[in-house]
Amino acid sequence: MNPRPRRTAEPDGPPLTRPAAVLFDRDGTLVHDVPYNADPARVRPVPGAAEAVRLLRDAGIATGVVSNQSGVGRGLLTHEDVRRVNARVDELTGPFDVWVYCPHRPDEGCACRKPLPGLVDEAARRLAVRPADCVVIGDIAADVLAARAAGAEGILVPNAQTRPEETRAEAHPAPDVLTAVRRLLARPGPAATAARTEGRSV
């Protein structure tokens, strides 16, 4: 089987271009993590989340959310609970172009639960972009690993719940979600990269 295209930059290669889409983890990345939250009133955005999404929209980059919601499979949440909370997150930090979540328990063997690539693949499909042209931003290793399994780029934004070894494993974690997005937007666009490759300036 051919390996998936990867966004990971080579150590001595050119910097990556801006992505076609940025996919965010929900809990712990866009909003403070409330385990198995079924109450939209408990949704609290993390600082800078709404500004980060706005900057991406202004730059013409698609946005989405990819989230594990095993509370559904555990019987602690309903799909409607998840949709109501997602709608509140969308209201406070979005709007997002696509929402995809995994409702399964870890022991169900699904293909969508992060760190597997299913959510990233599906979000990319709905956005009509290649997974390799996406970046996933999340707060735990499963988010980054799901991105890489899909051939996308993953950026870790650690918080108090992130395991220290997960942070140490990343060469360039971002201190917060807004910084992660600003770093992406500081990259050259595809036109600038093509011109540089051809020895031209734009």
Q: Which residues are catalytic?
A: 25, 27
Q: Which amino acid is at 88?
A: R
d(CA 26, CA 11): 30
15 vs 197: CA distance, rounded Å: 12
Please answer whether residues 161 and 138 qualify as being in contact, where contact means their C-beta atoms are separated by less than 8 angstroms.
no
Its sign, for the CA torsion 36, 82, 79, 104, is negative
At 196, phi and psi to the nearest 5?
Answer: -65, -40
Length of the chain: 202
Tokens representing residue 125 in the block: 């499909």
